[in-house]
Amino acid sequence: MSDLGHVLVLAGGLSYEREVSLSSGRRVADALASLGVEVELVDIDAQLLPRLLQDPPSAAFLAVHGIEGEDGALRDALDLSGVPYVGATGSAARLAFDKPVAKAIVGRAGLHTPASVALQHAAFRDLGGPALLERVVERLGLPLVVKPARGGSALGVTVVRTAAELPQAMVGCYSYDSVALLERYVSGVELAVSVVDDGSGPIALPAVEIDAVSGTFDYAARYTAGMTEYHVPARLTAEQSAAAGDAAVLAHRVLGLRDLSRTDLIVTADGTIEYLETNVAPGMTTTSLLPLAASAAGLDLGTLCRDLLQHAAVRGLSLPGAPV
């Protein structure tokens, strides 16, 4: 048996990504159990905090995707409960989860990111949506990517190739979030670069190249076996691979993240690395990208998760009120 003690894997919730989260949670829990870790998978609900206070775990692994797992609230609740956990703090998670904010931060740090405009639903309605969209097309050109400012799994994301497609794309986007990010479409090699840090500093795992059969890495392409081909490591030059890894580590650092993250990038035809977004609760399903990268690096998923939990548990000993 592991000497880590009793740990929890938190998953589920009521976000649009509930089923993906449960799948991630089951995989992490099974991987930990195979190493002898005393682990319990918990579907988060209103009884979570009383449960944590009654039987505090050594640490928790967050496999909650979407707003419930990535807007910082759950992380703040764990801090209030004195439960150490794997992943970003609540304040850092909020920065990364808000795509326009994250783009601004990494842009100031020197990373390239596609030009974009963020439109809040109320402003879009009150200031005249059609006129705003005309200005957006004039400024950014076509095609565009319309995506919720906060969200994951490509839910509510549309690639818009003509101005006539924009209004419907906005309707779809606003059904997932009150802020829409309209971003200049950038073509090239699509990458996901995972970053892990067991306490010795963040390192980039091998980049995963994403080649969706449909041409769009949407929800179905992400979670349906056979709809996307992955190349690990990505088919890049050594210089491009190093640059992609450096970009992901830089994003991880400037966003103030810890333990693990996944950054999505595009390598354009001229070799430019374009930053898209950073995920603080990467998927752990059989088709998810961090586990693919870990495997390519020779890392066992269960061992990686166990080591991150151990690191979180040790970090928790320094928290106010921690047992001596």
Reported as a single tens digit per residue, the pLDDT across 36-84 is: 999 999 999 999 999 999 999 999 999 998 887 889 999 999 999 999 9
Residue 279 catalytic? Answer: yes
Q: Which of 15-24, 129-138, 186-195 has the lowest mean pLDDT?
A: 15-24
**pLDDT for 218:** 64
| Prediction pTM value | 0.92
Catalytic residue among 223, 259, 261, 307, which? 223
Residue 17 catalytic? Answer: yes
Residue 316 catalytic? Answer: no
Reported as a single tens digit per residue, the pLDDT across 253-277 is: 999 999 999 999 999 999 999 999 9
Catalytic residue among 12, 15, 17, 71, which? 17
Domain architecture of the chain: domains with CATH: 6-88+304-316 (3.40.50.20), 94-112+186-298 (3.30.470.20), 116-184 (3.30.1490.20)
| Of the candidates 134, 93, 141, the residue with the CA atom closest to the CA atom of residue 116 | 141
Residue 34 catalytic? Answer: no
Residue 223 catalytic? Answer: yes
Residue 23 catalytic? Answer: no
Catalytic residue among 264, 306, 307, 316, which? 264
Residue 16 catalytic? Answer: no
